Every structure is written in structure tokens, then in C-alpha cells.
Chains A and B, each alone.
Chain A
């Protein structure tokens, strides 16, 4: 499995109501019904666990879409 798929799966795990057809790399936080501050925490924790990385505070606040998460992970790999 490649990095893109891994990040997509993190989104599907964190947002159980998200379907394959609804997924969009550019879709931002305000377009998700259930992306609140705790969902953000779950997303970050899961990504950190999956990739063995730690996000800085600035990186955490800048993650507002699947694409921004993917870009930050790529920059840390």
C-alpha cells in the first residue's frame, strides 16, 4: 500500500461516515460535518501512530484537509 492510500485510510478510520465517493483530497475541514477538535486530535494521533512521526503545533493547526495532512507527512518522510 502506498502513502496516499494510507492517508486515505486514516481519513476513513477517523470519519466512519465518509464514503469513497465523498472523499476528496481538497475537501476542507469546514465541509465535514463531524470534523471537530476531537476528530482533529484523533486524526493526528492516528497519523502519528501509523507513520511513527510527531507533528509540531504549527503543523497540527495547518492540517485542514487530506491533502495538507499528506503533504506534511511527505515532508517528514
Chain B
């Protein structure tokens, strides 16, 4: 992992300015072999390293404990609950992208799962054939023609390009969990959701760890491919080989 940090003087200078995005961006311009898909690499690599440490010593152990201790039906209910809480925003984004049929389904899902599905703990709507959609504001911006901007890696939040970072920030305002009071309950819910999401990624940890020649690049390129796929709703046009 540390071999990311062998480097020229310029890179070293960038790194000592760790955290100062502006400096990093300026420095990255001076790098000789810049990857056009990753103009802010000089900022991202240290952020990625920070995140690896946070993940190794905090997020992952907690997620593993959660995964081991909590029985599957409970985990499924937790996942369904937060999925349901997010379905309203999914529906809004479907509508913002002009997919009104999808938006209707999203709303139907919310109504059915919040009632028959007991506060969203059971995904009855999927059983009824109302398929879950995968939308967010970052995708909406993409559909509206907003450029991706450069790729960024944020600690805890993870990989997002500039467009998705904006999408994420806007999304937090539309997140029902953020409006739960008292604040202590809101924080517990946000933490539980984070752990649930991290736990769902546990199976892919070993895959990425063993598959990647360079884990940073593997995750970056996987993110870029995955987002492209989401923007095109699972049917991206073929790229030339």
C-alpha cells in the first residue's frame, strides 16, 4: 500500500499540502504523467490512504461484527427499511429525469412498503413486481447534461466525481433520516445505515483486494464504469474496444 508514496519531489510537496484541495489541484497540473480520467490523483491517493486506515480499524470491524451477530432476516429488514426511506428521493429523481412511469412505481412502492410492509421493513412491493429503481441526484445531473468533472476520492464518503459530490450534498437535504429528531436517534439511524451499507460490501472486499494490481485504480475504474451503467439505467452504449 505504501508504495503509492514513492514519488518525485513535486508529488511530495503536494502531499505535504494534504487536505488542501486547491493546492493539490494546482500541483496535479504540474505532474508529468497525468491520467485524463483522474486529474486530481495527487489529492485522491492520500485521501484514499486515509480512508483505508479508517476502514481497516473502524468501519470494517464494526460491519463484520454486525454481519456476524445480526441474523439475516433482521439485516434484510434493516436494508429494506432504509431502502424504503430512500424511495421517495428515488421517485423524485425518476421524475426529474422525465421517467414518470418509474416515478409512479417508486411512489407506489413507498406507499405499499410503508403500510403493508410495516414501515418498510418488508419489501412487499418487489414481491408484487414493482421493481426497485436506482436513481440519485448525481444521475439526474448527468441526464441533464452536467459534465462529470474530475474524479474525487473522499474519506468515509468514498469515490465520487465532482457531479456526484454535488448530487450527494443535495441528496442529504432530501434524506428523511436527517430530519429525525431527537438528534441522538437521527445519529444512531445514520450510523446503522452506514454499517448496513458497509456490511453489504463485505463480500466484494476480498474480490477487490485480490483482483487489483493497484487497488486505488481498480476502485476508481470500477466506480466510473458503475456510474456510467447507472446513468444509462443498466444499458450503457457499447464503448469501442
The answer to whether A and B belong to the same complex is: no
- On B, residues with C-beta under 8 Å from A are none
A residues near B, CB below 8 A?
A: none
